[in-house]
Structure formats: structure tokens, C-alpha cells
Structure 1
Amino acid sequence: MAITERSNAQQARGQPDQAAEQRPPEGEPVADRPAGHGPAERPPGPRGLGDRLGDPAVRQWIQRGAVALVVLVAVSVVLNVKLGLAAAVLVVVGDLVRRSRTASSVEAWQKASAVERKTERQLKSLEKNGYRVLHARAVPRDDEGVSDGRIDHLVIGPSGVYAIDSEAWDKRLPVRTLSHRKLFHGPFNKKDRLDETRWEADLAGKIISEQVGFEVPVQGSVAIYGPSIPWKVMRVRDVDVYAGNRARGYLRRRPRVLTVTDVERIFQAAQESLPPKYPD
């Protein structure tokens, strides 16, 4: 099975030797860089505490709890414990409301199914080139298989494996990067959204790897519909970001790294281990 670099910059076998075999700076254009696949010495083991702490949703609750604890202690010392508890609860509720408004103020008008269908039509045209696609797949987050994560489009093909999320954003707000490490939609920092995409892609790769017995890296990406995107493909926080209408080209211009047998084997493993998010 051919080996090529993934998002963590593994160098492709048979590709020209580069000056440095390391991950490119975040935010660097990567239109021609493939996500890679290759056999691992051993399949990944069960997820540990570090993996769980890497979950963006878990990190948010840890941060929220830490702030609430500080407020509880401070108000309890100055006033009393009851007021401290009340203030801590208000901090948690206020943060939940703030994040909800931030996420929905720009994107409440979004029709996710519409943009997903646009991406689906692009991906369907790649079937004749040996690509297999699974839509709306759940990503289990714990040992009981509970999931609130979803990959809109899991693509397995000659050029690798990709987790693509289709996003509809307000076209009135510009999209920009800052220091090649942050992505903004107008005034809104999309860090959490990128971290969520990367987390789901990495977790999907671990789950599939356990099924097939060798490492299957999954490259996370976000296809954005609505605002103008001033680049072809930009890697920000290990996630590829591009205009929605470039989804097909994003995949087609990458070199072949998987055989037909590899594609089918990974597809079957993904189909069995990543259930439909909305089963019939």
C-alpha cells in the first residue's frame, strides 16, 4: 500500500525528497498536498485521558468550570457561599448563552441540507474515478458509542481519506486568516469549529485504523459556501479550508496513494464502524 504524507507531514513513498520532512506552517496553501495513508506497526489502542481532553466540547466545559470555580471562591470570601454559588451558576449559564448567540447570529439562516447537497453532487461525479463517499456519519465519542459529532462527507479514494464538513456562512461577512493560525468570519473566531472538524477527523481515523489493522489518517476539511474565499486551499489548525465549489478539485489534483483494494477495504471498515447520523 502506498504511503504518503498526512496532515502531520509524513513524506510520500516514491515522491521527490523534500528539504525538510516536517509539517508545513499552519495556514500554508496546500492545494497539491495529499492526505496520506500507510501501514502502522500496530493498530491504535483505546482512547485515553489525553484523547478525551482533546475533545473541543470537553475543553470548553473545563474552561467554563474553572472560571465558575474562581467566581465561587471569590464571591464566597467577600460575601457568602450562597451568593458565590449563585454567581458561579450565572457564569456558566451566561457563557452557554453567549456561545449559542455567537454561533447562531450569523449562521441561523443556514440550510445545511442545501449546501450538503451541493457538495454531494460534486463528490458524486468522482465515483467514476474510484472514489467512495459516506454522507452524514456519526463519530462515537465514548466507549458506549454515544455521539454528538458528525462528518458531513467521508470520502475514500485514490488520493486518500477526507472528512469534509459543508458550511453555509453569511456572504456579507469576509473570511480571513490571522498569522496563518486563526480563521475569522467577520468578527467571529472559528477556532472551535476548526478544532471540532480536526477532532472528528482524527477520531474517525483511529476508529477505522482499528478495523483495518493499519494506520488510516483522515484529513479534515471545511467547504465554505456563501462568502468569497480569497485562496484556493488554506491549511489552518491542521484543517484544509476552501470555497465550497472547489470540493471536487480539492480531491482530484492530489496524487494517487491508495489502490482499488485499499479504497474498498477502508470504505467497508468506515461503513461498519461509523454509523449513519440519521438512521432510517
Structure 2
Amino acid sequence: MRNRALLAILVGVVVGILVGDWRVGVTAGVIAAILDTVYRARSNSTVPAWRRSSIAERRTEAQLRKLERNGYRTLHARAIPDSEAQIDHLVVGPTGVYAVDSEKWDKRLPVRVQMGKKLFHGPFDMKPRLTEAKWEASRASELISEAYGKEISVVPSLAIYGPPVPWKIMTIRGVDVYEGARARKWITKRERALTKAEIDRLHDIASRVLPARYGED
């Protein structure tokens, strides 16, 4: 709020001096404040501030927010206890439970697959990233299932932004890989499996067993 006021005053003074009319300066200051308010509102994110450096995560979050009207609930930046690993987005909804890791890759390097089980980004073998994503989802499944009292499968995925992905959805080493813009469709295309009561309970359990990174919620 303070920064916005300073911006309005600065713009108003500069414009007023340039055009020689203080009334025009005041108008310009008000317009600058309004534009700043709109920009900040559109840039607002439920991902904690320390995570906002990731454009990929914000883009995925924007997609997942649209699912709320259909009964989906999402947790962002969830830590795997006793590890450095993190699930960028954990989604619980009518079609199941999903772990989405948002990836921003160099768009100049192609994405390709060899023999159906090796993912490459240019010359780089992405096996370690697939292994990590699969482990994160597996560990989340174990923790949620134990607290829920029933086995719950958490489906792992990589949502890739940057280079084009030459397929719609492909499962590689147990991880679904797709272009980032497909995240929402990837989740909703499956059959309904959970009731609202189950969704609410699983969401509450997940928020407890998978704490927000650095204790932020």
C-alpha cells in the first residue's frame, strides 16, 4: 500500500511538472495507482512468497485453481518429511489424488523418449528427475494411506513448460509426463473415484502428513 502511494505521488509530480497542470498530474497519479492495484491482484498467488520465483508453478497453480468449482482441492509446495524433496502441487478430487511437479526447461533443447522408458531433454538423461517424482508420490501415498486407514494411490507427474512435448501424455518409468498446459485435463480425464466426504478427509490428512515447506500454510 505504501509503495503504491509513493508511486502515485511520483507519477503525479512528474506528469504535473511536464505538462504544467497539477490537475493532470493528480489524474495520472490515480491512474498509476489503479494500474498497480490491478497488476498486483493478477499476480497474486496462494503459493507462499518464498516459492514465487517459479513461473512454472504459478502457471500450474492457475490451472488447478479452475478445478475448485468441480470439487478439487489443492495443496502447494508440500514437503516430504525427513527429506529435502517437495511435491509442488498435491491435488485431491473426484478422480483421485495426484502429485504434480512443475518443470521449466530450456525451450531450445528438445524433449524426446528412447525405447519408451528413457526421457531426455536435449542430451540430458532425466531419469533422476523421474525417479524423484515417483518416489515423492510413493512416499506421499504411504503417509496418506497410513493415516487414512486404507490404501490411497498418489499418481505422479511432471508438467513441463518451455520446450514442446511431442505427445499428449506418456507414462515413463511410472511417471506421467506432459506439456504443462495439459495439467488440468490430465487430472479430470479419469473416472470419478472419490466422494466429497472422502476428498475433504484426504485433503485434511494430506495437509497434516505433508507439511508446507518451512512451516508455511
Band the TM-score falls in, shorter-chain normalisation? 0.7 to 0.9
Which residue is 1:176 aligned to?
Answer: 112
Which residue is 1:162 aligned to?
Answer: 98
Which residue is 2:210 aligned to?
Answer: 274
Question: Where do 1:1-280 residues align within 5 Å?
Answer: 113-140=54-81, 146-280=82-216
Task: Tell me the CA shift for residue 278 of structure 1.
Answer: 3.0
CA distance in 2, matches of 1:147, 1:272: 16
The TM-score normalised by the length of structure 1 is: 0.58
Q: CA contact under 8 A between 1:112 and 1:166: conserved in structure 2?
A: no
CA distance in 2, matches of 1:254, 1:132: 16
Q: CA contact under 8 A between 1:159 and 1:257: conserved in structure 2?
A: yes
Task: Tell me the CA shift for residue 112 of structure 1.
Answer: 5.3
CA distance in 2, matches of 1:196, 1:251: 20
Unaligned runs of 5+ in 1: 1-110, 141-145
More helix by share: 2
The TM-score normalised by the length of structure 2 is: 0.74
CA RMSD of aligned residues (A): 1.0
Task: Tell me the CA shift for residue 279 of structure 1.
Answer: 2.4
Task: Tell me the CA shift for residue 147 of structure 1.
Answer: 2.2
Q: 3-state SS of the aligned residue for 1:151?
A: strand
CA distance in 1, matches of 2:185, 2:208: 28
Task: Tell me the CA shift for residue 262 of structure 1.
Answer: 1.1
CA distance in 1, matches of 2:54, 2:128: 22
Deviating beyond 2 angstroms after TM superposition, the runs of 4 or more aligned structure 1 residues are: none
Residue identity matched to 1:259: T
Task: Tell me the CA shift for residue 189 of structure 1.
Answer: 0.2
CA distance in 2, matches of 1:123, 1:161: 13
Q: 3-state SS of the aligned residue for 1:221?
A: strand
Any idea what the Cα deviations from partners look like across 1:49-100, whole Å, max 9, x if unmatched?
xxxxxxxxxxxxxxxxxxxxxxxxxxxxxxxxxxxxxxxxxxxxxxxxxxxx
CA distance in 2, matches of 1:207, 1:251: 21
CA distance in 1, matches of 2:184, 2:169: 12
Larger Rg, first or second structure (1 or 2): 2
CA distance in 1, matches of 2:124, 2:83: 26
Quick one: percent identity of the two aligned structures? 55
CA distance in 1, matches of 2:83, 2:111: 30
